[in-house]
Amino acid sequence: MKKITVISGSIREGRKSHFVAQFVNKRLNDIDEVNSHLLDLKEYPFPIMEIRMNLAESPPHRMKEFSDLLSESDGIIIVSPEYKNGIPGALKNALDYLNPQIFKHIPLGFVTVSSGGFGGLYCLSQLRLVGLALGGIPIPEKLCVSIVQEVFDTSGMLRDKSFSEKTVKFLHDFLWYVQRLST
Spatial CB neighbours of 182, under 8 Å, sequence gap ≥ 6: 2, 74
Which lies closer to ligand FMN via its Cβ, residue 89 or residue 100?
A: 89
Which lies closer to ligand FMN via its Cβ, residue 13 or residue 32?
A: 13
Q: How far is the CB of 120 from ligand FMN (least distance, A)?
A: 6
Q: How far is the CB of 174 from ligand FMN (least distance, A)?
A: 21
Q: Which residues bind ligand FMN (CB under 6 A)?
A: 10, 12, 15-17, 81-85, 113-116, 148
Which lies closer to ligand FMN via its Cβ, residue 24 or residue 53?
A: 24
Torsion of CA 125, 11, 107, 62, to 10 degrees: 140
Of 35, 159, 183, 40, the residue nearest 105 (C-alpha): 183
Instruction: Check: CB of residue 108 under 8 Å from CB of residue 131.
Output: yes
Q: How far is the CB of 81 from ligand FMN (least distance, A)?
A: 3
Of 27, 169, 162, 12, the residue nearest 84 (C-alpha): 12
Q: How far is the CB of 169 from ligand FMN (least distance, A)?
A: 22
Instruction: Check: CB of residue 112 under 8 Å from CB of residue 141.
Output: no
Which lies closer to ligand FMN via its Cβ, residue 146 or residue 179?
A: 146
Instruction: Check: CB of residue 86 under 8 Å from CB of residue 133.
Output: no
